[in-house]
């Protein structure tokens, strides 16, 4: 992920006032034909979300996890690991117009937690997935 700054100039010549504002912009590299999907696993609390924004926060910032994403036809698309960002989300770029299931596994306070949820990358599909509840699978 690349961070850049955009400088916005506002000028009122007749009053001789110039306002300069610097706003940080996050640029997420996109792969042609894919859609970025933001995923936030949770145990106790979540929020309803459809379109991810900078105000979205989740239960587990900087949590290491393993995950498998499978498409509707049973193909394993990603079998990987990630660390959630400081907002509790991690990002995957998925092919457009498909339906997926994600299974997540992680260790929290020495216990293994797992969970599964579904999402899609159709034009009406959410890009903020906050429905992946994890349950303690150690007990």
Query: Residue 41 sits in a domain of what CATH number?
Result: 2.60.40.3700
Q: Is residue 52 part of a domain?
A: yes
Residue 8 belongs to some domain of the structure: no
Alpha-carbon distance 39 to 132, whole Å?
A: 8
Number of domains in the chain: 1
Could you report the average pLDDT of every consecutive run of 10 residues in the chain (139 residues)? 46 42 52 87 93 92 97 95 96 94 97 97 94 89
- What is the enclosing helix (H) or strand (E) of 84? none
Cβ atoms 121, 94 nearer than 8 A: yes
Residue 3 lies in a domain: no
pLDDT for residue 137: 87
Whether 19 maps to a domain, the answer reads no
Residue 85 DSSP label:
-
| Count of residues making up the chain | 139
pLDDT score, position 33: 85
Which two three-digit tokens encode residue 18? Answer: 């110039």
Residue 122 lies in a domain: yes
What is the reported pLDDT for 23? 53
* The pLDDT value given to residue 54: 87
pLDDT at 16: 40
Predicted local distance difference test score (pLDDT) of residue 39: 97
- Note whether residue 119 is domain-resident: yes
Q: Does residue 22 belong to any structural domain of this protein?
A: no
Instruction: Please choose, from the candidates 1, 73, 64, the residue with its C-alpha nearest in 3D space to the C-alpha of residue 30.
Output: 1
Residue 85: give the domain boundaries: 31-136
Closest CA to 95 of 51, 38, 35, 29: 35
Looking at residue 31, its pLDDT comes to 61
């Amino acid at each position: 992920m690349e961070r850049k700054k955009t400088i916005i100039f506002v000028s009122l010549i007749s009053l001789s006032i110039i306002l300069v504002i610097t706003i940080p912009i996050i640029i997420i590299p996109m792969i042609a034909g894919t859609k970025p999907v933001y995923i936030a696993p949770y145990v106790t609390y979540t929020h309803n979300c459809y379109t991810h924004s900078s105000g979205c926060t989740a239960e587990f910032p900087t949590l290491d996890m393993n995950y498998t994403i499978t498409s509707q036809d049973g193909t394993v698309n990603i079998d990987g690991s990630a660390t959630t960002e400081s907002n509790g989300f991690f990002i995957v770029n998925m092919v457009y117009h498909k339906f997926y299931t994600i299974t997540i596994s992680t260790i929290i306070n020495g216990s293994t937690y797992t969970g599964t949820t579904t999402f899609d990358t159709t034009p009406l599909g959410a890009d903020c997935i906050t429905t992946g509840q994890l349950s303690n699978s150690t007990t």
